Amino acid sequence: MAARLPRKNDQASIAARRETLGLNGDVDLSAYVRSAESVTGVATLPVSVAELHVSLGDYVLSDEGEVVETGRAEEDVVVPLAHTEGGLTASLQRGAKAAALSGGFRTYVVADRITRASCFVCRDAGDALTLARWIGERVDEMREFLRAADLPELSRYAVLREAKTHVVGPMCHVLWRWTTGDAVGPNMMTRNAYGLNMAFVLPNAPVPIERVMLEANMGGDKKPSFEFFQSGHGKTVIAEATLTDKTIARVLRTTAADLDALSWAGTHGAVASGMQSVAFTPASAIAAIFAATGQDLGMVGTSSMAHGTGRRVDGGLHASIRFPGLEVGTVGGGTTLPTAHEWLSLMGCAGPGRVYRFAQLVAAAALALEISASAAMATAGSENFFRAHFERGGLR
Amino acid sequence: MAARLPRKNDQASIAARRETLGLNGDVDLSAYVRSAESVTGVATLPVSVAELHVSLGDYVLSDEGEVVETGRAEEDVVVPLAHTEGGLTASLQRGAKAAALSGGFRTYVVADRITRASCFVCRDAGDALTLARWIGERVDEMREFLRAADLPELSRYAVLREAKTHVVGPMCHVLWRWTTGDAVGPNMMTRNAYGLNMAFVLPNAPVPIERVMLEANMGGDKKPSFEFFQSGHGKTVIAEATLTDKTIARVLRTTAADLDALSWAGTHGAVASGMQSVAFTPASAIAAIFAATGQDLGMVGTSSMAHGTGRRVDGGLHASIRFPGLEVGTVGGGTTLPTAHEWLSLMGCAGPGRVYRFAQLVAAAALALEISASAAMATAGSENFFRAHFERGGLR
Amino acid sequence: MAARLPRKNDQASIAARRETLGLNGDVDLSAYVRSAESVTGVATLPVSVAELHVSLGDYVLSDEGEVVETGRAEEDVVVPLAHTEGGLTASLQRGAKAAALSGGFRTYVVADRITRASCFVCRDAGDALTLARWIGERVDEMREFLRAADLPELSRYAVLREAKTHVVGPMCHVLWRWTTGDAVGPNMMTRNAYGLNMAFVLPNAPVPIERVMLEANMGGDKKPSFEFFQSGHGKTVIAEATLTDKTIARVLRTTAADLDALSWAGTHGAVASGMQSVAFTPASAIAAIFAATGQDLGMVGTSSMAHGTGRRVDGGLHASIRFPGLEVGTVGGGTTLPTAHEWLSLMGCAGPGRVYRFAQLVAAAALALEISASAAMATAGSENFFRAHFERGGLR
Amino acid sequence: MAARLPRKNDQASIAARRETLGLNGDVDLSAYVRSAESVTGVATLPVSVAELHVSLGDYVLSDEGEVVETGRAEEDVVVPLAHTEGGLTASLQRGAKAAALSGGFRTYVVADRITRASCFVCRDAGDALTLARWIGERVDEMREFLRAADLPELSRYAVLREAKTHVVGPMCHVLWRWTTGDAVGPNMMTRNAYGLNMAFVLPNAPVPIERVMLEANMGGDKKPSFEFFQSGHGKTVIAEATLTDKTIARVLRTTAADLDALSWAGTHGAVASGMQSVAFTPASAIAAIFAATGQDLGMVGTSSMAHGTGRRVDGGLHASIRFPGLEVGTVGGGTTLPTAHEWLSLMGCAGPGRVYRFAQLVAAAALALEISASAAMATAGSENFFRAHFERGGLR
């Protein structure tokens, strides 16, 4: 290997790296030295904005871990979108306008769970089944253990809710299911799962355990899966709007019948191609909001898993999208970066107590884009979709 | 809806938006006014770096659309990583070191195709089958049509390679398969597919066509699918390394046997949870490079689809990862943004003729992280994985 | 349409049909006139037999619906196999012998649930979520309603255990989860689900319900699905055996290392081809036993969903297979046919109280075939697999 | 293990087995002694019949392996159904009647390929890619090799058509794609694939091959997979019918609107549960015909993979079903058994040259059941579906 670059984040090391790599100019990276190792520069993306009219629920987490709606209010909110896809912001704004003129979006937080999928390898399936039963009977005890244990690595924010076991061969996979407050929580649940595995299960298990793995792919850790799609990983959120025929014609330049026909063909196309997510382009909106607000971009794929529906109703079309697992946070991680904090604040989503609000806004914004992009695609020959790309493709 | 913000990107509109939204300070957004509508600010992410030793192939696209290797050389390359996940850069660097001490990564570009999945709705399946046959027999003619047609909306860069039809019900889905040069190509293939659909197929089709849709979900447009996972959507790339036992012990602090045991459990966990991608955490690396280099972040999920393997061999462990569709470009889109251009240049990947090089570096970097993260997870109880998160979690 | 055949099952109608269709000879169909409409003849398949040595658990269903093991004993059991695939019986017998010489099979019943997936279409997602919560809070009440209601169509055998709701768009899908005694139970749970839907939910629901469907594909009704693969539909059973190196060499003519290599490649092949079931050829054994014992052959595909594992252990190889949903019965349906009853009796599985025993024998027989077929495939070039087909292909 | 039963199929051995097992009565098994090892008795199922009116295509296989339609004629055909599900035959007959009164079914054979998925394990991915290219360039040569080689194990009926390679890790998976005449062909393609692997590839390969496996799960060998669902494994067949509103009302007792609403909910339910097959109950019909006609019952699951569609059209509803891979034969295997031969003859499908006809009839019968069962489910509360099960459940 070539001459090794210095690895630290003190000013001298940073300067040495930049010089060695021939990077021009001075940059002040002091805000980022705790973000990663070997920080050397920045990446800057433009942020555009769109306005949504949405009926947002107020939610609290009950002691039992259920998400409970305590109120609901309509608001106009501006959402930030970091991307360079010409036409995307205009399209999302158009969809938002169509929804607003039809009464606005309505959003719901359905559930809140994130999982760390550990695995205990036993001698055989018989032992693994014994272990699975043993774990299943001790969830209350384990929750209490985490609360009471005096281990510095444990997090008080990550609360164990359930443990789902799945035995295959000699493996006892365990989906530790957590709530993690206003943070996404991978770090805190990793620490608590490790604590459970090593300090509770391993010393007390009724059968010999040959091998313990903190994570062995039964969950949805940055990889889309059916488990993730159905059972969720983060906040499960639904957004919906009932568009009027008049708005569909005037704003979206199409009809409910044409949207219905597109939805029908697109759903069958998705089935034919083996998509787990059946929707139009949720990842475009998710990525744009995630990049603006300091969310983990490695979670764009999983958080974009979605199930969209369209259905003709009297006088219009009902459109909705279900996100099984929006992996969003309003504290911790990249949300503390200066620009991220600014954009979260713009939405009223910076800091504790805001994560359910934020999750709903993400879902509503994504539905806005679904509606508009679908409408463009539903025009004859998808002409409007083509035009938008041809005329506004911009940098693409 | 509340008072409508101005939508344009002239300085006055931008200033008015910022004032209305209460955004502080002056920002110069002149570099971004063509990127999106309603640009209002920026998002800035820290970029860290890691060094890879990799045997890179030189590739050209043959006239028939095959990717042909014309040479191969070992290089040390520095890759930029935009993220805020404490430990990620250090881990990726550790994996790269282990590979370098074992002879380095080897990367291969296997294929290059991107698809736009149009759909023609006919009267019934009989007609749709007639249309499918008719299309299948005219691919050469259609390629020539695109080359010769004097339509301003057509792109010369997007070259039609094949057309795969799939009839279900009255729908004739068509996967138009393209090469798009050094750009990712969604925009240019959208324009050419529209031209084909409306100016070639629709007027000449042997059966009545009731409805034409540019895109109806048979492809992998920002949504992971089995079609995408198997047949690809972008550059199909494989990266591999054969790690020595000594390096596994000294650098990765584990053994080939432990890595093998983890891979076995993780693959079965992935099967049990219905993952289409079977790998460790490719999205973390993909997202970090994409964010630094101006790639489309809405494609993080699809581009992160991957099939990883681990296998004990004499004296060590063979590790590899297959990316069916890296949707990467070195021209167009966000690659022209100032910071993106800088980071692409650092890798020798800015501009035309560099996309296969870039795709290989993305794959090698992802494999570096796979190796190190797996090694941390393979230690007893995954202690090293836990420690990395506990001690270096940083902002998370 | 041509002259309509008579449809009834009286002797004259049967004779008329046979004459009209030119079917030769007299057949006595009196045993079958209640099996189906328009019974006209028979199909006869040869049945071969194989002997298994297996440790079978004794299981009872607890009041809470859990499957509880109350004892365990080793037995030699003969299983009937109705098929015409030359080599299959010999191969299954060879696998059984290898297991027997290594200590025999061990089988476990893990769970017992079968689902009817109804769907309530509401006005919108908000209403559907309200309904889902309402249903979730009333499972005990609904169980009691079924027990107490004086409706002739209800079955006392199908006991409601849980209700899993899944809202997408305006749909509230409900997985009614049942135990059904020694019958497979589709008929009885259909009747009880209809009763619940129409007499409990519809009149009492807190929101207007636009449409009620008894079954809308969220379950696994004769169609393999990930939901079925993970959560089961029938009896969830695991079979395992730990083969000794000596037996692998002498009986199976291969080695643990070669079996391990095959398992590795086969699992990755399954991932690459998008299989939900990862195993070798479970359907061959399932179909053969189902056909002999009067099980519903339309359930061969779903009941054959399986997750097989192979793992080298000290002195040999551990092999196992997990069936998430064996849809088997020992009463009702085709089990009452004369030959089916005879073959079930041979296994000690005819009549009430035998279904867990039967499910275990099915799983053990399938594992026997997995072991032997894998061994043949694991020989160099899969020579023994080829030979078996070449020399014993028989009628194939 | 208990006293070993004799294994042979001579009369004395059969008699000894029957006596040892306590099986009563004399049976003449002479027709079955070549079907399997250790034949000991029979299983007998009732066969009922239904009449279909269908427009069947005449098809031939071109020299290039394409299925070409050479004519088309309407016929009334009686199909045999071996099952014990009360109501099934009546329901299928009702669907057939509705189709007949609306102009009948129309069926199409789209393609004909069956695959054996071999795997060559190389040193690394680089070598595997070299091998994949080498194989890809030699398909014509390999086809000629099979034609000319003087190896007794080769079959002249199994003709190699294409070879699709898929490299992952050091594995070069190869889907050998065959046509196999009027037989399903697993045996003959196994023999030819073995010949190719061992006598052509292994001695001539440009890289060292560590391990050859005849089958490693990239195909669809009795296990449903996305590969199978999309690319087929056997005969790809589509059946369709355009039902009139009048017939839907009079025969099916429902409306096009209600059928459309059911189809919409059922498709979304299928997506939500991760079904690869989206249809109603194709396996019921497939299993019934397979059991009557001596098809391989282990292939019920794969052959039942299907993609059904429903769509309102002027004056009625268009219904269709696509079977990607009907694994059917009219020669060989169980088709030679006495009853199977009788039932195949009834349909005009016994012997050579009939397999495309048979495949179409299977698809039409399955669509008949789809239509009727859907109609029963589409009635308010699915009352008619419930009634059919309640009143005609018969043996279930």
Neighbours of chain B (3+ CB pairs under 8 A): A, C, D
**Which amino acid, residue A231?**
S
Find the catalytic residue in C85, C182, C221, C370: C85
Comparing CB atoms, the residue among C53, C283, C297 nearest residue D291 is C297
pLDDT tier at D25, thresholds 50, 70, 90: confident
For residues B342 and B151, give the distance between their C-alpha atoms in angstroms, rounded to a whole number.
35
- What's phi and psi for C193, nearest 5 deg? -65, -40
Shortest distance between the Cα of C199 and any Cα of chain A, in A, equals: 27
Q: Do D85 and C32 touch (CB under 8 A)?
A: no
Neighbours of chain D (3+ CB pairs under 8 A): A, B, C
Q: Which of D189, D164, D165, D190 is nearest to D178 (CA)?
A: D189
DSSP-derived pairing of the beta strands B159-168 and B209-213: unpaired
Q: Are D112 and D235 in contact (CB under 8 A)?
A: yes
Find the catalytic residue in A166, A222, A318, A341: A222
Residue-wise pLDDT for C286-312, tens only, equals 999 999 999 999 999 999 999 999 999
- Token reading at C146: 């079924």
Q: Do A48 and B40 touch (CB under 8 A)?
A: yes
Residue-wise pLDDT for A251-269, tens only, equals 999 999 999 999 999 999 9
Is residue A393 scored above 80 in pLDDT? Answer: no
Comparing CB atoms, the residue among D273, D307, D311 nearest residue A271 is D307
Cβ of D339 under 8 Å from any chain C Cβ?
yes
C222 is catalytic: yes
A222 is catalytic: yes
Number of helical (H) and strand (E) elements in chain A, helices listed first: 14, 9
Q: Which of B75, B191, B207 is nearest to B133 (CA)?
A: B207
Segment C13-23 mean pLDDT: 95
Contacts (Cβ under 8 Å, ≥6 apart) of D48: C35, C36, C37, C38, C39, C40, D80, D81, D83, D89
Q: Which of D351, D352, D385, D360 is nearest to D289 (CA)?
A: D360
Taking each helix axis from N to C end, the angle separating B186-195 and A383-392, rounded to the nearest 10 degrees, works out to 140
Shortest distance between the Cα of A152 and any Cα of chain B, in A, equals: 10
Segment B261-288 mean pLDDT: 97
Residue-wise pLDDT for D81-128, tens only, equals 999 999 999 999 999 999 999 999 999 999 999 999 999 999 999 999
Cβ of A88 under 8 Å from any chain B Cβ?
yes
pLDDT tier at A150, thresholds 50, 70, 90: confident
Contacts (Cβ under 8 Å, ≥6 apart) of B349: B293, B330, B355, B357, B358, B361
Comparing CB atoms, the residue among D7, D36, D119 nearest residue C83 is D36
Q: Which residues of B touch C267 (CB under 8 A)?
A: 267-268, 271
For residues B12 and B28, give the distance between their C-alpha atoms in angstroms, rounded to a whole number.
12
Question: Which pLDDT does position C1 carry in this prediction?
Answer: 44
Question: Mutating which of A56, A123, A226, A312 best tests the C interface, going by the most C Cβ atoms within 10 A?
Answer: A226
Is residue C283 scored above 80 in pLDDT? Answer: yes
Mean pLDDT of chain C: 96
Question: Which pLDDT does position B391 carry in this prediction?
Answer: 82
Q: Do D304 and C222 touch (CB under 8 A)?
A: yes
Nearest residue of D to residue A308 by CA position?
D268
Q: Do D276 and C274 touch (CB under 8 A)?
A: yes
Is residue D2 scored above 80 in pLDDT? Answer: no
Q: Among A73-82, A352-361, B17-26, whose mean pLDDT is lowest?
A: B17-26
Q: Which of A50, A59, A53 is nearest to A343 (CA)?
A: A50
- Token reading at B323: 């990316």
Cβ of C1 under 8 Å from any chain D Cβ?
yes
Q: Which of C112, B48, C304 is nearest to A13 (CA)?
A: B48
Q: How many CB pairs under 8 A join A and B?
A: 506
pLDDT tier at C393, thresholds 50, 70, 90: low
B40: helix, strand or coil = strand
Q: Are A194 and A153 in contact (CB under 8 A)?
A: yes
Q: Which residues of B touch D307 (CB under 8 A)?
A: 168-169
Q: Do D167 and B238 touch (CB under 8 A)?
A: yes
Is residue D396 scored above 80 in pLDDT? Answer: no
For residues C380 and C373, give the distance between their C-alpha atoms in angstroms, rounded to a whole number.
14
Segment D342-356 mean pLDDT: 97
Instruction: Write a three-state SS string for chain D.
Output: CCCCCCCCCCHHHHHHHHHHHCCCCCCCCHHHCCCCCCEEEEEEEEEEEEEEEEEEEEEEECCCCCEEEEEEEEEEEEEEEECCCCCHHHHHHHHHHHHHHCCCEEEEEEEEEEEEEEEEEECCHHHHHHHHHHHHCCHHHHHHHHHHCCCCCCCCCCEEEEEEEEEECCEEEEEEEEECCCCCCHHHHHHHHHHHHHHHHHHHCCCCEEEEECCCCCCCCCCCEHHHHHHCCEEEEEEEEEEEHHHHHHCCCCCHHHHHHHHHHHHHHHHHHCECCECCCHHHHHHHHHHHHCCCHHHHHHHCCCEEEEEEECCEEEEEEEEEEECCCCCCHHHHCHHHHHHHHHCCCCCCCCHHHHHHHHHHHHHHHHHHHHHHHHCHHHHHHHHHHHHHCCCC
C296 is catalytic: yes
ipTM over the 0.90 cut-off: yes
Question: C93-126 in b/e burial notation, b at 16+ Cβ within 10 A?
Answer: bbbbbbbbbbebbbbbbbbbbbbbbbbbbbebbb
Find the catalytic residue in D182, D296, D327, D370: D296
Question: D141-154 in b/e burial notation, b at 16+ Cβ within 10 A?
Answer: ebbebbeeeeeebb
Neighbours of chain A (3+ CB pairs under 8 A): B, C, D
- pTM of the entire predicted model: 0.97
Q: Where are the beta strands (DSSP E) in chain B?
A: 39-61, 67-82, 105-122, 159-168, 171-179, 209-213, 234-244, 307-313, 316-326
Is residue C2 scored above 60 in pLDDT? Answer: no
Find the catalytic residue in D166, D318, D341, D389: D389
Q: How far is CA D302 from CA C53, C228, C276, D276, in A?
A: 30, 16, 12, 11
Q: Do C390 and D294 touch (CB under 8 A)?
A: no
Cβ of B84 under 8 Å from any chain C Cβ?
no
Question: Mutating which of D29, D187, D331 best tests the C interface, going by the most C Cβ atoms within 10 A?
Answer: D187
- What's phi and psi for D27, nearest 5 deg? -130, 145
Q: Which residues of C touch A242 (CB under 8 A)?
A: 124
DSSP-derived pairing of the beta strands C159-168 and C307-313: unpaired
Question: Which pLDDT does position B2 carry in this prediction?
Answer: 53
Find the catalytic residue in B222, B318, B341, B342: B222
What proportions of chain C, in percent to the nearest 5, are helix, strand and coil? 40, 30, 30
Shortest distance between the Cα of B60 and any Cα of chain C, in A, equals: 27
Is residue B395 scored above 60 in pLDDT? Answer: no
The DSSP secondary structure of B266-313, one letter per residue, reads: HHHHHHHTTBSSBSSSHHHHHHHHHHHHT--GGGHHHHT--EEEEEEE
Q: Do A230 and D273 touch (CB under 8 A)?
A: yes
Cβ of C396 under 8 Å from any chain D Cβ?
yes
Question: Which pLDDT does position C219 carry in this prediction?
Answer: 84
The residue with tokens 């906040």 is: A235
Q: Which residues of B touch C268 (CB under 8 A)?
A: 267, 278, 307, 309
Find the catalytic residue in C127, C227, C258, C296: C296
Angle at C296 between CA C293 and CA C298, to 5 degrees: 135
Q: Among B250-254, B276-280, B334-338, C386-390, whose mean pLDDT is lowest?
A: C386-390
Cβ of A387 under 8 Å from any chain D Cβ?
no
Q: How many CB pairs under 8 A join B and D?
A: 84
CA A5 centroid distance within chain: 35
Mean pLDDT of chain A: 96
Question: Mutating which of D105, D115, D167, D307 best tests the B interface, going by the most B Cβ atoms within 10 A?
Answer: D167
Segment A225-230 mean pLDDT: 95
B222 is catalytic: yes
Sign of CA dihedral C215, C216, C219, C220: positive
Q: Do A271 and D268 touch (CB under 8 A)?
A: no
DSSP-derived pairing of the beta strands D67-82 and A171-179: unpaired
Question: Which pLDDT does position A95 carry in this prediction?
Answer: 98
Q: Which of C52, C6, C59 is nearest to C356 (CA)?
A: C59
The residue with tokens 């969903």 is: C305
Is residue A321 scored above 50 in pLDDT? Answer: yes
Question: Which pLDDT does position A3 carry in this prediction?
Answer: 62
Question: Which pLDDT does position C154 carry in this prediction?
Answer: 94
Comparing CB atoms, the residue among A226, A267, A272 nearest residue D274 is A226
Q: How many CB pairs under 8 A join A and C?
A: 84
Is residue B55 scored above 90 in pLDDT? Answer: yes
pLDDT tier at C209, thresholds 50, 70, 90: very high
Q: Do B271 and C264 touch (CB under 8 A)?
A: no
Question: Which pLDDT does position A396 carry in this prediction?
Answer: 44
Nearest residue of B to residue D317 by CA position?
B124
- Token reading at A174: 């365990």
Nearest residue of D to residue B68 by CA position?
D133
Residues 261-300 on C with a CB inside 8 Å of A are 274
Question: Which pLDDT does position C396 carry in this prediction?
Answer: 44
For residues C206 and C188, give the distance between their C-alpha atoms in angstroms, rounded to a whole number.
27
Q: Which of A239, A252, A314 is nearest to A279 (CA)?
A: A239
Kindly state the percentage of chain C with pLDDT values over 90: 93
Number of helical (H) and strand (E) elements in chain B, helices listed first: 14, 9
Question: Which pLDDT does position C340 carry in this prediction?
Answer: 98
Residues 180-239 on C with a CB inside 8 Å of B are 226, 229-230
Residue-wise pLDDT for B86-99, tens only, equals 999 999 999 999 99
